[in-house]
C-alpha cells in the first residue's frame, strides 16, 4: 500500500532503497529512488515522503542511517575535520553507484530485518563512522554538507512561508527553519503579513483549498491532508465557517466537464 508522510527532517540521513519505490518532495526539489539507489537527505527540511511497494508481491524496504549531529560532532573532533565554507548545494543528493557503500548496507541489513538483532551504542557509532568515511571516500566535497553545525541562517520569511504553508508542523518548526527564535519569528511574521502565523496559515490553506475545488475540481477528501489539516471534519468545518458553504456544496455547483 502506498504511504505518504509529511515530516520535519531533523538530521542528515542516508537511505538505500532495497525494494519498492521512494520519493521525497520539498518546496524546491523532488527526488525519486528506484531499487538499489542511495540518497543523502539534508537536515532541517520540511518534506513529503512517499513509500510505494512494487506490485504484485514485492514489499517496500529501505535501510535508513540517521547521521545525527551529536555523532557527526564526535567524528569531526576525532578526525580533526574543520569546515570554513558553508554548504550551498542541493539539500538532497543522489549518491552515485558505489560498491563500498553497497557492501556497507548489506552489512547492516540483518539488523533492520531481525527484531532480535540490535546495534548497541558503541557499534552504532562505528557503523555511522563507517558510513561517513565511505561517503567522503567517494565524494570528498560532501564535507561541508555533513559537518555544517551552524544554526539555520535567517532567511526570507515571506518567501519561505508562501512555499511551505501547506506543511502541518508546529509554528516552532517554521521559526527554526527560518533561523529565528519563536518570538522573533512572530514579530517578523507580523511585519511581513500583518497578522499572526496561525491565522495566516488557516486563511492561506483555505484559499488554496477553494482554488483547488473550484478550478481543479478536487474533492475535500483528496486535498485536506496535503494542505496541512489533521482531519477532514476540521477542514470541512473551517471551510464552511470561512466561505459559508461546505466543500461538497461547491463541488455540486461545478458544471460537469464533458
Residue recorded with cell 500500500: 1
Q: Which of 59-68, 114-123, 222-231, 240-249 has the lowest mean pLDDT?
A: 114-123
- The confidence score (pLDDT) of residue 255 equals 54
Range of the structural domain that residue 216 is part of: 157-253
The CB-side HSE value for 250 (13 A sphere, CA atoms) comes to 20
Q: What angle do CA 102, 23, 3 make, to 5 degrees?
A: 110
- Domain count of the fold of the chain: 2
Calpha distance 22→81 (Å, rounded)? 32
Answer yes or no: are the C-beta atoms of 168 and 205 closer than 8 Å. Answer: no
CB-side neighbour CA atoms (13 Å) of 102: 8
* Lowest mean pLDDT, pick from 31-40, 53-62, 193-202, 213-222: 53-62
Identify the CATH number of the domain in which residue 245 sits: 1.10.10.60
- Percent of the chain beyond pLDDT 90? 54
Given pLDDT bands bounded at 50, 70 and 90, which one contains residue 112?
low
Q: What is the pLDDT of residue 257?
A: 45
Residue 207 burial (CB count, 10 A): 14
Asked if pLDDT for residue 51 goes beyond 80, the answer is: yes
Determine the length of the chain. Answer: 258
Q: Do residues 107 and 134 both lie within one domain?
A: yes
57-90 pLDDT tens trace: 778 999 999 998 888 888 887 888 887 777 888 9
Q: Are residues 166 and 207 in the same domain?
A: yes
Average pLDDT over residues 165-172: 90
Query: Could you tell me if 161 and 54 lie in one domain?
Result: no
Residue where a domain terminates, one of 97, 127, 146: 146
- Smallest Cα–Cα separation from 22: which of 44, 57, 47? 47
Cell of 94: 543522489
C-alpha 200/C-alpha 195 separation (Å) is 6
Please compute the mean of the pLDDT values over residues 216-238 and round it to a whole number. 93
14 and 121 within one domain: yes
pLDDT higher than 80, residue 43: yes
Q: Please check whether residues 111 and 162 belong to one and the same domain.
A: no
Same domain assignment for residues 168 and 223: yes
Please give the average per-residue pLDDT across 139-143, as a whole number: 92
User: Would you say residue 105 has pLDDT above 60?
Assistant: yes
| Grid cell listed for 151 | 544554526
User: Do 140 and 42 belong together in one domain?
Assistant: yes
What's the rounded mean pLDDT across residues 14-23? 93
**Cell 557492501 identifies what position?**
103
- Which of 26, 182, 177 lies closest to 93 in space, CA to CA? 26
Q: Which of 146, 169, 196 is the last residue of a domain?
A: 146
- The domain that holds 81 is classified in CATH as 2.60.120.280
Say whether 140 sits in a helix, a strand or coil: helix
Amino acid at each position: 500500500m502506498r504511504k505518504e508522510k509529511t515530516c520535519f527532517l531533523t538530521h542528515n540521513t542516508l537511505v538505500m532503497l532495497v525494494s519498492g519505490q521512494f520519493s521525497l518532495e520539498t518546496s524546491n526539489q523532488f527526488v525519486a529512488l528506484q531499487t538499489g539507489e542511495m540518497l543523502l537527505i539534508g537536515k532541517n527540511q520540511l518534506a513529503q515522503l512517499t513509500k510505494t511497494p512494487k506490485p504484485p508481491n514485492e514489499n517496500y524496504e529501505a535501510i535508513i542511517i540517521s547521521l545525527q549531529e551529536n555523532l557527526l560532532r564526535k567524528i569531526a573532533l576525532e578526525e580533526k575535520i574543520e569546515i570554513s565554507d558553508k554548504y550551498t548545494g542541493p539539500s538532497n543528493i543522489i549518491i552515485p553507484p558505489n560498491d563500498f557503500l553497497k557492501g556497507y548496507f548489506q552489512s547492516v541489513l540483518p539488523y533492520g530485518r531481525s527484531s532480535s538483532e540490535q546495534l548497541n551504542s558503541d557499534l552504532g557509532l562505528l557503523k555511522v563512522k563507517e558510513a561517513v568515511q565511505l561517503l567522503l571516500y567517494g565524494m570528498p566535497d560532501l564535507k561541508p554538507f555533513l559537518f555544517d553545525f551552524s544554526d539555520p541562517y535567517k532567511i526570507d520569511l515571506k518567501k519561505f512561508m508562501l512555499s511551505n504553508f501547506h506543511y502541518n508542523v508546529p509554528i516552532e518548526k517554521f521559526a527554526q527553519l527560518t533561523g529565528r527564535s519563536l518570538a522573533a519569528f512572530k514579530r517578523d511574521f507580523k511585519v511581513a503579513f500583518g497578522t499572526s502565523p496561525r491565522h495566516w496559515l488557516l486563511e492561506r490553506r483555505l484559499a488554496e483549498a477553494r482554488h483547488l475545488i473550484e478550478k481543479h475540481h478536487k474533492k475535500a477528501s483528496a486535498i485536506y491532508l496535503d494542505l496541512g489539516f489533521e482531519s477532514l471534519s476540521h477542514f470541512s468545518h473551517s471551510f464552511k465557517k470561512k466561505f459559508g458553504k461546505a466543500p461538497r456544496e461547491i463541488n455540486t455547483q461545478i458544471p460537469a466537464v464533458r
